[in-house]
Amino acid sequence: MKKKTTVLFTLLLSMILVIAGCGNSGSSNTDKKANEPQTKNEEKKEDSVAGASQASYTPIDQLKDNYDIIIVGAGGAGMSAALEAKEKGLNPVIFEKMPVAGGNTTKSSSGMNASQTKFQKEQGIEDKNDLFYEETLAGGHNTNDKEMLRFFVDNSASAIDWLDSIGIKLNNITITGGMKEKRTHRPEDGSAVGKYLVTGLVKNVQEKSIPLFVNADVKEITQADGKVNGVKVVIDQKDEKTITAKAVVVTTGGFGSNADLIAKVRPDLKGLVTTNQVGSTGDGITMIEKLGGVTVDMDQIQVHPTVQQDKSYLIGEAVRGEGAIMVSNEGKRFVNELNTRDKVTAAINTLPEKAATLVFDSGVKSRVKAIEQYDKMGFVVKGDTIEDLAKAINVPADQLKATMDTWNKAVKDKKDSEFDRTTGMDNDLSGAPYYAIKIAPGIHYTMGGIKINTNTEVLNKEGKAIAGLFAAGEVTGGLHGENRIGGNSVAEIIIFGRQAGIKSAEYVQAK
């Protein structure tokens, strides 16, 4: 009876959280304007409250006036920073403007890239940091910050080890676009990485007694005598409080949901759907600029090729990595599906319909657990035969059959003579039933942001660190250059989130 009561209580809490989260509008007026189209999107509301229990958050009556380190944003980078700062013996606090922790991390699907990991070695995958570096540099069109990139790849394996050490195991490895080796690490069951990662990080934050306040909207980072010394934060859209600290770490994410800012820096993208959670409005960038921080690559915005348009929902690259192909309205392949995201997007945009369909079989469905979620949301079309599927998605059956036969032969021969695809060809598409998801490009990631160094110190226009101010994750820019490789964003938030926690702690302890 006690167990049943606990289960019922947990379910009741979850229902209350969803209702509360859906009614939240914890953003500025500018944010509301940017997010108005998304309030009609029930899935975005669901995502904004997924990933953690309200019981994990610190009651507002426990808020103190002073902490060693203030972390702004409770996504993967922020929580990683908090855990490392706590490990150093300091007293960090996390402020999150949304009603739950997670941010865009919750929406991450495919996995976390890392090279020379223990899990790769266990599975006989021969990878090198230098290859990871070279492929990421090529993916970014050789415009990446090379010092940041070198630190990133060389610390990727230790980030996987660190996650494993705190109970977050990413040992199911697949491949995404722009790679030659399997290095995209996923949860053991092949499920989407985001919710698993957020749940694990929140659990660790709670176990370490790190205060995490939600509905805590930081409006300003304060400074005195040239040193950052705290923040002004609005709690529950009511009271503004000034909280002091010896250092501030900004991990507020990008600006993919700020329609006005996107239209300003990239007017050609105006009107595209966005996969970003509603809180990704660039607040951290604005606050840091007021302190003299500078930005880089603000016009470099990644459009992801495979977005379900009705609900602006990302269809993860792992679907293609495990063997799916894409076809046009004519039922024909038209691109190497695992080329870099910018090239696949460009290929889709050359089609008259500027959209395409992902086609896969029961084998892909079994290997990519995220497809179960896509199916629940009504995205997945099923056909018992290829002809049935063709009818369901309104493409010529004879042409789709020919496309599938040609592809399966390419997989067997390990040679794609049509588009030179060389990865994601471990299994053919011959396992009935067959499935399809309609997709088109959507705004996914903002490569630009605040300029930092490898110590995650925020830099001013002279290239000098702003004392006491650190940043990590999508709020920063430079690492990815003009195009991000799929799976690198999750790696970035963990690698640089940890670094921000370590370096901000060292700064505080040196004072």
As annotated, the active-site residues are 341
d(CA 21, CA 343): 37
DSSP 179-218: -SS--EEE-TT---HHHHHHHHHHHHHHHTT--EESSEEE
In the chain, how many H helices and how many E strands?
A: 18, 19
- Residue 478: C-alpha distances to residues 145, 208, 497 (Å): 5, 32, 16
d(CA 222, CA 214): 20
d(CA 287, CA 97): 14
d(CA 435, CA 502): 46
Residues 378/427, Cβ–Cβ less than 8 Å: no
CA nearest neighbour of 377 among 440, 314, 443, 304 = 314
d(CA 82, CA 67): 12
Tokens of 385: 């035969």
d(CA 57, CA 60): 9
Residues 361/432, Cβ–Cβ less than 8 Å: yes
Tokens of 330: 């004519």
- Residue 488 identity: N
d(CA 306, CA 248): 36
Burial class (CB in 10 A: 0-12, 13-18, 19+), 226: exposed
CA nearest neighbour of 373 among 311, 452, 448 = 311
- Write down the residue that tokens 């934060």 correspond to: 233
- First CA to last CA distance, the chain: 55
- Residue 125: C-alpha distances to residues 116, 118, 466 (Å): 9, 10, 42
CA nearest neighbour of 189 among 373, 431, 427, 20 = 373
Residues 497/79, Cβ–Cβ less than 8 Å: yes
Residues 136/151, Cβ–Cβ less than 8 Å: no
Torsions phi, psi for 35 (to 5 deg):
-100, 0
Residues 430/470, Cβ–Cβ less than 8 Å: no
| Residues near 98 by beta carbon (within 8 Å), at least 6 away in sequence | 24, 26, 48, 74, 214, 215, 277, 278, 279
d(CA 373, CA 503): 38
